[in-house]
């Protein structure tokens, strides 16, 4: 999924699903499904938080591949 396809401009303040801090109105944010946890609802989160999470997921997959 491309980042710019899930990046939106906030119309009001949201709480980031990753760090719990405020996503301020009129700033860019990502609305995406959280991996794991069984929640299918899409959650708002900071763009930085989303990219950090995506990067760590990739690193975990690479670590897993090394273990095989
Ligand atoms: Zn955040």
**d(CA 38, ligand 1 centre) in Å:** 20
**d(CA 23, ligand 1 centre) in Å:** 7
Q: Give this prediction's pTM.
A: 0.73
**d(CA 66, ligand 1 centre) in Å:** 30
**d(CA 50, ligand 1 centre) in Å:** 8
The pLDDT score that the predictor gives to residue 24 is 98
**d(CA 29, ligand 1 centre) in Å:** 9
- pLDDT one digit per residue (tens) for the chain, 68 residues: 788 999 999 999 999 998 999 999 999 999 987 666 565 678 999 999 999 887 877 666 666 666 65
The pLDDT score that the predictor gives to residue 47 is 95
Domain count within the chain = 1
Strands (E), 1-68: 7-9, 14-15, 22-23, 28-33, 42-46
**Residues of the domain holding 40:** 3-67
């Amino acid at each position: 999924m491309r980042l710019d396809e899930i990046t939106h401009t906030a119309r009001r303040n949201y709480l980031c699903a990753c760090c719990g801090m405020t996503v301020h109105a009129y700033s860019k944010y990502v609305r995406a499904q959280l991996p794991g946890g069984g929640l299918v609802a899409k959650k708002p989160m900071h763009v930085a938080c989303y990219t950090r999470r995506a990067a760590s997921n990739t690193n975990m997959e690479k670590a897993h591949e090394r273990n095989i």
